[in-house]
Chain A
Amino acid sequence: NAGVTQTPKFRVLKTGQSMTLLCAQDMNHEYMYWYRQDPGMGLRLIHYSVGEGTTAKGEVPDGYNVSRLKKQNFLLGLESAAPSQTSVYFCASSWFRGSEQYFGPGTRLTVT
């Protein structure tokens, strides 16, 4: 039982490049979330999903896209990376809205 896993753990991109972050959970959770964590800003919700095939915008969605084609996977895409997207990205999942969230180990992304 791995919980929530994220790949990759580290990535360096140049401005304008694209990439996809993968999140997988094996707890059969309906809800999945993508956050970014920046110094002094706390955790901010980018996008979330309330079930397979659904996605919704969070607090800071601009510049990101997501997809939830399978219940266990939640993908976060950056189409054209910008230095402002340098951050640590966390994926999380939960049984229902407002319940305990289980977090992955994070992806540290640097955009130069």
Chain B
Amino acid sequence: AQRVTQPEKLLSVFKGAPVELKCNYSYSGSPELFWYVQYSRQRLQLLLRHISRESIKGFTADLNKGETSFHLKKPFAQEEDSAMYYCALKARDNYGQNFVFGPGTRLSVLP
């Protein structure tokens, strides 16, 4: 079964501290993973995807197939990083592709 878990519903850190938002997945195929972010009163938007191996707004995420994880990290959190973060898995089945989202983690960066 395809599943994405984000164990923390809420994560609070102080400005300048490192932050790690955890994401684990279960999928029998070759996974494609994404992080989406939703800032307050804004729409959901793509933050980064593992195939690009990019760093966006200082965030990085490495796919660890052995641990089936795709944790999102940033060395120094900023107040403007406060938002809801969703980890997503692109899954394929007999019908095509769809996205499986985790429940989300609310990141609160304190001054």
Physical interaction between A and B:
no
Interface residues of A (CB under 8 A from B): none
Interface residues of B (CB under 8 A from A): none
